[in-house]
Structure 1
Amino acid sequence: MKFQGPVRRLATRMARDRKGATAVEFSLVALPFLALLGAIMETALVFFAGMMMEHALGQSAREIRTGQIQVAGGSPEAFRTAVCGRTAGMIDCNRLRIDVRTLDSFGGVTELPVGDDGMVDVGSVGFLPGTPGDIVLVRAFYDWPLVVPNLGLGLANLEGNRRLLTATIAFRNEPFQEALQ
């Protein structure tokens, strides 16, 4: 009973003291705020990387359309390196898969087989840039790892908190026969 007076005074003094209120309020709000900020930044980064990949594929596919790749005897590795070189280092070339094939018509696109990991099967991609006048389909697939958990955004479309970025371009090759002779 003799501690009742000092304990009561201490409790009253602590209840009136507002010096740490801001720190306590910030600690309650900081984690959700930082998680939301991280999710916003990652979403922006994923979409920016997708746009960079589409732009790089479009620029590189122009070399197929004009016959530069065919005349130079370009390989799939050289084309993939060209695409990667145009992404400003945002994409790891080892995880980028490129599929280049000729079609009978613009409606003749088929789906590629998907492996157990949800990614496009490596054995199903090919490199056939075609000849003058051929219809060519160029597709790029990239497995982007996500850092921030989904937070209900549904950004991951592969297992293991990953997103499959894709870019597709279809065109008819220009008449570059003169360059072949």
Structure 2
Amino acid sequence: MSKTFKQKLFGAARSKAPRLLCRFLRRKDGAAAVEFAFVMVPFLMLMFAIMETALIFFAGQTLETAAANSGRLILTGQAQSQKFDAAKFKQEVCARVYALFDCEGGLIVDVRTYNSFASIDNSKPIDADGKLTLNPTYAPGGPGDIVVVRLGYQWPIHLSLLGFNLSDLTGEKRLLLATAAFRNEPFSVAQ
């Protein structure tokens, strides 16, 4: 190939390049598709994060309602008069939290009796390593006793976006904890 032929070939390409680039930039045929591709990923991430956050709050409220309603069984003496043990009380709780939770495998039911309201430990049972430290017991107490019913569930977190992470346990889980504190009514236990 002669030098003049190469110069002509690449010289012509060089002079057409700016014109092709300008023509390409002026075209508007696929602009909406390209703009949508840029916006779609952050938009979908934001939508899934909003849905997951809403689901976690809904599950927490469901657990709070179950704690209040099942705590009423202890408050009124029904659980004591029917001689509920920990398994039977957990069944009563599970009847109130259907569909959202793995009740048999994941729900933690803790019922404790205290001497005064001031002595109640209401801190989150999570250690510095993000591990759950709640050891469930079942002590519904008698008439006039102060009782705290705590329901816990390790909710799995699927999205952690933009540095906003809802998990507080190891393994990308969040502890949902519902508490009901009350003084038992002066009921009488049937013998």
Report what 2:24 is aligned to.
Answer: 14
Q: For 1:1-181, what aligned pairs fall within 5 Å after superposition?
A: 1=9, 4=13, 11=21, 13-93=23-103, 94-110=105-121, 114=126, 118-121=131-134, 124-177=135-188, 179-181=189-191
**Residues 4-13 or 81-90, more deviating:** 4-13
C-alpha distance in structure 1 between counterparts of 2:181 and 2:91, whole Å: 20
> What percent identity do the matched residue pairs reach?
45
Structure 2 residue identity aligned to 1:143: Q
Q: Is the 8 A contact 2:130 2:168 kept in 1?
A: no
Report the number of matched residues: 178
* Structure 2 segments unaligned to the other structure (5+ residues): 1-8
Structure 1 residue identity aligned to 2:65: H
Structure 2 residue identity aligned to 1:40: I
Instruction: Please identify the structure whose Cα radius of gyration is greater.
Output: 2
Structure 1 residue identity aligned to 2:32: T
C-alpha distance in structure 2 between counterparts of 1:49 and 1:32, whole Å: 26
Q: Is the 8 A contact 2:126 2:169 kept in 1?
A: no
Q: Is the 8 A contact 2:117 2:146 kept in 1?
A: yes
Structure 1 residue identity aligned to 2:92: A
Shift of the alpha carbon at 1:153? 2.7
Structure 2 residue identity aligned to 1:41: M
C-alpha distance in structure 1 between counterparts of 2:26 and 2:90, whole Å: 67
* Structure 1 segments unaligned to the other structure (5+ residues): none
Give the TM-score normalised by the residue count of structure 1: 0.86
Q: Is the 8 A contact 1:39 1:151 kept in 2?
A: no
Shift of the alpha carbon at 1:46? 0.7
C-alpha distance in structure 1 between counterparts of 2:168 and 2:52, whole Å: 15
RMSD, aligned α-carbons: 2.3
Give the TM-score normalised by the residue count of structure 2: 0.82
